[in-house]
Amino acid sequence: MIPEIGHFALAVALMLALVGAIVPHVGIARSDARLMGLADRVIYGQFLMALIAFGALTYAYVISDFSVLNVAANSHTAKPMLYKISGVWGNHEGSLMLWVLTLTLFASAVAWRGKELPLRFRSRVLAVQSALIVGFLIFILFTSNPFLRLDPVPVEGNGLNPLLQDPGLAFHPPMLYLGYVGLSIAFSFAVAALIEGEVTPLWARWVRPWTLSAWMLLTGGLVLGSWWAYYELGWGGWWFWDPVENAAFMPWLIASALLHSSIVVEKRDALKSWTILLAIIAFSFSLFGTFMVRSGVITSVHSFANDPERGLYILGFLAVVVGGSLSLYAWRAPKLSPSGLFGMVSRESALVLNNILLSTFAAVVLVGTLYPMMLEATGGAQITVGPPFFEFAAIVLMSPLIVALGFGPLLAWKRGRIGRAGQMLIPALIVALVAFLAVAWDSAGGLLMTGFGLGLALWLIVSVFLELFERLQLFKKPAKVLSRMKALPRATWGMSFAHLGIGVILLGITVSEAWTTEKLLIMAPGEQAEVAGFSFRLHGVEPVAGPNYTAIRGHFTVAEDGQVFNQLFPEDRVYTDQVMNTTEAAIAPIWTGDLYAVIGESAGEGKWSVRLYFKPFISFLWLGATFMIVGGIFSLTDRRKRIGAPKGKRNKSAAGAA
Amino acid sequence: MSKGLKSRKKQRLIVLSTAVAALVGAVLLVLFALGGDSLSLFLQPSSVLEKKIQAGQRFRLGGLVQDGSFKKLEDGLTYKFVVTDCAADIPVQFKGLLPDLFREGQGVVTEGALDATGTFMADTVLAKHDENYTPKGTMPKNVEACEHPEKAAGY
């Protein structure tokens, strides 16, 4: 009964979404405030229906109702409750339900919090959002119904892929989805602005919290995924330039660009049509990412779906959304009021450079991801584009970005002076050069790229501090620093934190790539191995049992200078509900890096194959990402957003005129 | 040049030309990089023999791990197995920990190069797939040639 209620709720939601996608436009055309106001209520209704449907599915998972095909295919009674619940979105149908739930949730937030938006504009936004919801609901109801029944009812479920039974992966997909859906709001705002034919600084201020939240969630999602790969896949890698990763990385790049260009719209009333275009592209990449992962055009652990019918639908939906919005853009964008002017050297120019580099990088990643598929589709050879390609592109395109990042915040709006900024950054340049020369000299020229990366990272970190000191006037009026710290807008703190985070991540990447020590060997209990000055001693290997797996567990102690200071328990698990091995690496973070141990299979005679690593500074990756997210939170709670945007005068008059 | 505001036209020109330069640079980058090592061929055993791939050239080898071919060498860390597409076989040698999903009779993707004796010296065995389906491109093109095609399909 409950699944049928969920199914019915989805159907009702579709009807409501159809109404919500059409009626507000009619209301606007007829200047009928009642019809326009309907948009709010219809959105709340859709949210309620989506919530009921999602609740029904979750309930089926919690009680292990195997009469529902989706539950039987992806769940198991012996699974811990956390993974029963995360199993709801750990599959194709359920993840789409999550999409719809968050789409309606965010749209409701716009309806609820957006009272200061002019009614006409808000109705447009919500109507566009409803149209997107229609697209997703049709997809679910006609190709991916999660409430299909199964007859006869199986006694036990199939189980969730053991690789996915992991706290990191339980929350990685929903975070990414929340990020994608956050970008849908920016998209709806952009399309509504194009229909209305006006983009104002106020528009940018309304969009910014959404872009910012989406960006934070995408950052969090990417980091969780990469952290998961780092400890679960068992070879210490954290990024593989896999198509699935690229699919999530491209929206992040464009969202970062959008975040910066919308500042220019807000503060300087410039770059308007470019910002609109970025908002459209950012969401298009989100849809495209879903298409790639869901349609089965690529195969990896992330792509559960392998169904051409679904692929064709998503492709069609993508064509309508992207093609439609870009046509609208081509038609309406030239009519937008002209942008403000700025000098060649100015904050605006620096942000334009940021945008050009980030977008170009996204374009290169896109080409590298699609090229093998297109070549294969056109009957060419099967090839793969490997990490060297992407790494090379990252170095060429992101290095100038990081150099410019030091200057950008020091330049004034409209017309800046590069000489003055340069003077202030001299200490950063010195630190960077010293680091580069030290590494180059120490390795006798062997680690030039490491030196370069280290120099760049330190340049960025030092310049973030220099810029902050300048704002606080630390050296001019040291007594007043505390009061100035309080007066500094949170958005500024947010910027410094986020930029610092990038420097810290770069530092982590450079150091861990260059100085990781790895040993692959056979060990018998009692034996000892030296890795990067630490001695790992294997004490024993014993069988252990978990709720739905059995495992062998190794016991290592780690000593430095004869002093034991850490223990490691790597496992090799065999899951029983879907027979499969997983490697559970044991990782112990210490100040200078991570101790990392993996236990492999038995080598006979009581010996075991093991893999031991020391990965210096790898935690800086997660630390830097945390800084970026913290920066986002600071910026999100900035005063000018907390107290809400002032009423839009220009928009209102425009609403009255039309 | 750097001082003073320019007309709207000039500003647009500068922004556009920078963007175009970045894009052209990116395209060159792509062409350059795709011509180099970063692009590796993905081949099944019969096409390796057909194309007479030289020893030392890196490529990805995909296919099925032949039943009964899996052996561990003396050192306990080096593995030997045969990758087949049912029309041709290539012996593979790999040193390291094999990924969790490695099985005889299942699809595998390895990366490396042939040595002078025709053995594929793999330095990477990819395993980023779940066992419900065969990783892309490992399903033999002439699947009828296999004795147990249902096994080849990974069921």
Chain A residues closer than 8 Å to B137 by CB: 382
Could you write out the DSSP letters of every residue in A88-122?
A: TTSSHHHHHHHHHHHHHHHHHHHHHHGGGS-HHHH
Q: What is the pLDDT of residue A654?
A: 39
A383/B42 Cβ within 8 A: yes
| CATH code assigned at A147 | 1.20.120
The pLDDT of residue A553 is: 93
Q: Are A512 and A618 in contact (CB under 8 A)?
A: yes
User: Could you report the per-residue pLDDT of B58-100, keeping only the tens digit for each?
Assistant: 888 888 888 888 888 877 778 899 988 888 889 999 987 777 6
| β-bridge partners, A616 | A593
Mean of per-residue pLDDT scores for chain A: 86
Least confidently predicted of A78-82, A392-396, A409-413, A636-640 = A636-640
Domain boundary among A99, A133, A162: A162
Tens of pLDDT along A473-502?
A: 877 777 888 888 888 889 899 999 999 999
Look at A23-37, A105-119, A126-140, A287-301 and tell me which has the smallest mean pLDDT: A287-301
* CA nearest to A612 within chain B: B97
pLDDT at A296 over 70: no
pLDDT of residue A305: 41
Q: Say whether pLDDT at A325 is over 90.
A: yes
Please judge whether A367 and B30 are an interchain contact, meaning their C-beta atoms are less than 8 angstroms apart.
yes
Same domain, A32 and A146: yes
Residue of A299, A357, A521 with shortest CB distance to B129: A299
Does position B6 have pLDDT exceeding 50, yes or no?
Answer: yes
Whether the CB-CB separation of A596 and A586 falls below 8 Å is answered with yes
Confidence band, pLDDT 50/70/90 cuts, at residue B143? low
d(CA A182, CA A214): 5
Percent of chain A with pLDDT over 70: 93
Cis status, amide bond into A152, omega within 30 of 0 = yes
Residues B7 and B80 both lie in one domain: no
pLDDT at A140: 92
- For helices A33-62 and A92-113, what crossing angle results, to 10°? 140
Q: Please tell me the number of Cα atoms within 13 Å of B74 on its side-chain side.
A: 0
Q: What is the pLDDT of residue B153?
A: 41
For residue B4 the two structure tokens come to 């003073």
pLDDT for residue A607? 86
Number of domains in chain B: 2
Lowest mean pLDDT among A100-104, A453-457, B3-7, B77-81: B3-7
When computed from its CA atoms, the radius of gyration of chain B, rounded to whole angstroms, is 23
How do A563-568 and A549-560 pair as beta strands? antiparallel
Residue B107 shares a structural domain with residue B119: yes
**Residue numbers in B near A339 (CB within 8 A):** 8
Among candidates B40, B41, B76 on the partner chain, residue whose Cβ is nearest the Cβ of A609: B76
Lowest mean pLDDT among A38-52, A282-296, A304-318, A481-495: A304-318
Same domain, A109 and A253: no
User: Tokens in use for A651?
Assistant: 């928009």
Q: How confident is the model at residue A214 (pLDDT cuts 50, 70, 90)?
A: very high
Which tokens sit at A578? 């879907």
Residues A187 and A57 grouped into a single domain: no
Residues 6 or more apart whose CB falls under 8 angstroms from that of B6 comprise: A341, A343, A344, B14
Residue A68 resides in a domain: yes
Read off the pLDDT of residues A499-526 as tens digits, 9 standing for 90 and up: 999 999 999 999 998 898 888 888 999 9
Q: Measured between CA atoms, how close is A28 to chain B, in angstroms?
A: 34
The answer, yes or no, to whether residue B36 has pLDDT greater than 70, is no
Residue of A342, A344, A575 for testing the chain B interface, max B β-carbons within 10 Å: A344
CA-nearest of A280, A222, A288, A224 to A252 is A222
Query: What confidence category does residue B35 fall into, taking pLDDT thresholds of 50, 70 and 90?
Result: low
Q: Of the ranges A195-199, A441-445, A640-644, which one carries the lowest mean pLDDT score?
A: A640-644
Instruction: Encode A109-123: b = buried (16+ Cβ within 10 Å), e = exposed.
Output: bbbeebeebbbbbbb
Among residues A92, A456, A392, A375, the alpha carbon closest in space to that of A241 is found at A392
- Residues B88 and A64: their CA atoms lie apart, in Å, by 47
Asked if A392 lies within 8 A of B38 by C-beta distance, the reply is yes
What's the mean pLDDT in A567-574?
Answer: 90
For A215, other C-beta atoms within 10 Å of its C-beta total: 27
Cis link prior to A427 (omega < 30° from 0)?
Answer: no
Interface residue of A240, A360, A414, A523 to substitute, partner B, most B CBs within 10 Å: A360
- Is residue A304's pLDDT more than 50? no
How confident is the model at residue B4, as a pLDDT?
Answer: 46
Chain A interface mutation, best of B15, B60, B123, highest count of A Cβ atoms under 10 Å? B15
For residue B42, the model assigns a pLDDT of 79
A376 has a pLDDT exceeding 80 = no
Count Cα neighbours of A252 within 13 Å in the Cβ-side half-sphere: 20
A428, A406 Cβ separation under 8 angstroms = yes
Query: Does the predicted TM-score (pTM) go above 0.95?
Result: no
As a whole number, mean pLDDT of residues A563-570 equals 90
| B83 DSSP β-pair partners | B65, B90
Residue position matching structure tokens 């952290």:
A227
Size of interface A-B (CB pairs under 8 A): 139
Residues of A in contact with B60 (CB under 8 A): 384
A658 versus A19: the higher-pLDDT residue is A19
Domain match, A238 and A362 both: yes
- Nearest Cα of chain A lies from the Cα of B45 at a distance, in angstroms, of 13
**What residues of A are in contact with residue B112 (Cβ under 8 Å)?**
none
Q: Which of A522, A500, A489, A498 is nearest to A612 (CA)?
A: A522
pLDDT greater than 80 at residue A588 = yes
Query: Taking all residues of chain B, what is their mean pLDDT, rounded to a whole number?
Result: 74
CATH number assigned to the domain comprising residue B48: 2.40.50.140
Backbone angles phi, psi at B76, to 5 degrees: 80, -5
Considering the domain architecture, whether residues A82 and A191 belong to the same structural domain is answered as no
Averaged pLDDT, A359-369 = 90
Most confident of A239-243, A632-636, B18-22: A632-636
Q: Which residues of B touch A419 (CB under 8 A)?
A: none
Do B85 and B136 belong to one domain? yes
**Is A341 close to B135, i.e. CB distance below 8 A?**
no
The domain of B15 spans: 1-39
The one-character DSSP state at A319 is I
Predicted confidence band of residue A308 (pLDDT cuts 50, 70, 90): low
Q: pLDDT at position B106, please? A: 76
For residue A231 the two structure tokens come to 């400890």
Residue A228 three-state SS: helix
Q: Same domain for B140 and B69?
A: yes
**pLDDT of the residue at A645:** 47
Closest CA to A130 of A216, A211, A5, A19: A19
The partner residue sitting opposite A300, judged by closest CB among B33, B42, B128, is: B128
B139–chain A nearest CA distance, Å: 13
What is residue B61's DSSP assignment?
E
Query: Please, which pLDDT band fits residue B140 given cuts at 50, 70 and 90?
Result: low
Half-sphere exposure (CA, 13 Å, Cβ side) for A77? 5
* B31 plus B75 within the same structural domain: no
For B46, the token pair is 């019969």
**pLDDT for the residue B38:** 62
8 A C-beta contact, residue A622 and residue A223: yes
Answer whether residue A608 is part of any domain.
yes
- Length of chain B in terms of residues written: 155
Q: A383-386: long-range contacts at Cβ-Cβ below 8 A with a sequence spacing of 24 or more?
A: A383/B39, A383/B40, A383/B41, A383/B42, A384/B39, A384/B40, A384/B42, A384/B60, A385/A241, A385/B34, A385/B38, A385/B39, A386/A241, A386/B38, A386/B39, A386/B40
Please list every residue in chain A whose beta carbon sits closer than 8 Å to the beta carbon of residue B136. Answer: 298-299
Helix (H) or strand (E) holding A16: helix A2-29
Task: Work out the minimum CA distance from B20 to partner chain A, whole angstroms.
Answer: 9
User: Shortest CA distance to A588 belongs to which of A564, A609, A608?
Assistant: A564
What confidence tens digit (pLDDT) does each residue in A386-418 have? 788 888 889 888 999 999 999 989 888 888 888
Q: Is the pLDDT of residue A41 over 70?
A: yes
Does residue A658 have a pLDDT over 60? no
Residue B3, pLDDT above cutoff 60: no
Alpha-carbon separation of residue A181 from A99, A105, A325 (angstroms): 7, 10, 17
3-state percent helix, strand, coil for chain A, nearest multiple of 5: 65, 15, 20
Q: CA–CA separation, B115 vs A471, rounded Å?
A: 61
**Two tokens, residue A388:** 């060297």
* 3-state DSSP helix/strand/coil % of chain B, to nearest 5: 25, 30, 45
From the list A360, A393, A598, which residue is nearest B97 (CB)?
A598
- Residue A243's pLDDT is 82
Name which residue leads in pLDDT, A380 or A331: A331
Partner-chain contact B5 A414, CB within 8 Å: yes
- Asked if B84 and B13 sit in the same domain, the reply is no
State the Cα–Cα distance between residues A576 and A432, nearest whole angstrom. 53
Structural contact between residues A162 and A549, judged by C-beta atoms closer than 8 angstroms: yes
> Bridge-partner residues for B108, per DSSP?
B63
Same domain membership, residue B58 and residue B48: yes
**Same-domain pairing of B63 and B93:** yes
Residue numbers in B near A389 (CB within 8 A): 33-34, 38-39
pLDDT at A303: 39
Q: A interface mutation test: which of B12, B111, B128 has the most A CBs within 10 A?
A: B128
Q: Do residue B131 and residue B82 come from a single domain?
A: yes
The more confident residue out of A463 and B54 is: A463
Q: Name the residue of chain A whose CA is nearest to B27's CA.
A: A364
Looking at the structure, tell me whether residues A140 and A40 fall in a common domain: yes
Average pLDDT over every residue of A634-645:
68
Contact A352 B18 (CB under 8 A): yes
Q: Are A125 and A192 in contact (CB under 8 A)?
A: yes
At residue B150, the pLDDT reads 43
Residue span of the structural domain in which A145 resides: 1-162
User: Sorting pLDDT into bands at 50, 70 and 90, what band is A14?
Assistant: very high
Residue A21 lies in a domain: yes
Whether residues A85 and A109 share a domain: the answer is yes
For residues A76 and A100, state if they share a domain: yes
Per-residue pLDDT at A448 exceeds 50? yes
In a domain, A299, yes or no: yes
Q: Tell me chain A's radius of gyration from C-alpha atoms.
A: 27
What is the count of structural domains for chain A? 3
